[in-house]
Amino acid sequence: MTEKLLPQLTIDKIDSDDFIEIWIEPFLVDKKVQNKSKNTIRFYRSELKLFLEFCDTVAIKRFSQITPNEIRNYLLWLEQTGHNPGGRHAAYRSLKVFMRWWWDEIEPEGFKNPIYKVKAPKVQIEPLEPVSVNSIRKLIETCTDKNFYDLRDKALFFFLFDTGARAAETCALHLKDIDQKTGTVLIRSGKGGFHRTVFIGRITRKAIRAYLRYRINRFDDGSPLWSTVSGEPLTYWGLNEILKRRSHRALIIKPGLHDFRRAFALNALRPGMDIESLRLLLGHKDYQVIQRYLKENTEDLRIAHHKASPVDNKF
């Protein structure tokens, strides 16, 4: 049973400004002003469209009609319409951000935000699989010729594995962002608009220098680091197509671009990198996502036990 609606007096105080649909575009504009990425804007738009679909089924048009129970009914409706736990959690998060934003914007007197009475649905956090080192080797083994494409793609695979940079961050790099002597790379287009510094080792620097020598177009410091043969900046979709073609040649299942990021995290931690340094290199605000990256497989656990076995160490 839905909760009783707020009295008309409260709605009058809020007046006509509480129609949900008219506030979605201003909300998205505000997120653009905050330099949120296009993917983030797309995510909010999609999730709020989904909420509006639910509202249509229960004749809700105003914020003043949203009660804690209606939010719970929304989460149940998502489950009934085939959304998995992760999808329901994403829907809750986006709705919470939207409703908090509207309350801050309007500050309706005497009308408390109902989202605070609804707990987020629990999600079982599953470890995320990285691309294996063996698969990366096979991808690089397809890049044996001394031509532009092979040299570029080889350098790209080394770079993704060596830095843990996101695919979009990688494509946005310019020549001025990389110091070939020190291996310092400035990520200017990080998630949330934040800058950070990552690093590449000797082998990756050597591969990038070989690739740059074969670029036939003229370039300056403002030119893209990763480009097509004609000098156009490499796009996210272009990078994904490179990985698709190379995976086909290497006879492996195509990994995701983000799988290189997970592989960097896991293979940086194993030799002893501390988790705070890893967090800073990955550009995460906290450790929650890192925990999903750092799946310990059976071999990791076997080695850990071998080192720490109480019986072997004490007897």
> 217: pLDDT confidence band, cut at 50, 70 and 90?
low
pLDDT of res. 218: 55
Comparing 36 with 80, the larger pLDDT belongs to 80
pTM of the model: 0.67
Across 107-111, 163-167, 173-177, 252-256, least confident range: 107-111
Most trustworthy range by pLDDT among 116-120, 245-249, 266-270, 274-278: 245-249
> 1: pLDDT confidence band, cut at 50, 70 and 90?
very low
- Strands of the chain (E only): list them: 178-179, 184-187, 196-199
- Burial letters 203-222, b for 16+ CB under 10 A, else e: ebbebbeebbeebeeeeeee
Res 12 pLDDT > 60: no
Comparing 296 with 307, the larger pLDDT belongs to 307
99: its two tokens: 């409703």
> 255: pLDDT confidence band, cut at 50, 70 and 90?
very high
Domain segments of the chain as ranges: 8-117, 133-305
Res 10 pLDDT > 90: no
Give me the percent of the chain exceeding a pLDDT of 70: 87
Pick the CATH number of 133-305 from 1.10.30.50, 3.90.76.10, 1.10.443.10, 3.20.20.140: 1.10.443.10
SS (H, E, C) 104-169: HHHCCCCCCCHHHHCCCCCCCCCCCCCCCHHHHHHHHHCCCCCCHHHHHHHHHHHHHHHHCCCHHH
Res 141 pLDDT > 70: yes
Q: How far apart are the first and last CA of the chain?
A: 65
Average pLDDT over residues 276-290: 83
Per-residue pLDDT reduced to its tens digit, 165-199: 999 999 999 999 999 899 999 998 766 667 899 99
279: its two tokens: 């967090």
- CATH number of the domain located at residue range(s) 8-117 in this protein: 1.10.150.130
The distance of Cα 144 from the centroid of its chain, to the nearest Å, equals 32
pLDDT of res. 221: 62
Average pLDDT over residues 269-290: 82
Average pLDDT over residues 202-212: 94
Average pLDDT over residues 140-144: 95
Res 309 pLDDT > 90: no
pLDDT of res. 291: 72
> 127: pLDDT confidence band, cut at 50, 70 and 90?
low
pLDDT of res. 287: 75
Per CATH, 8-117 and 133-305 having the same topology is answered no
The structure tokens 């500050």 sit at: 107
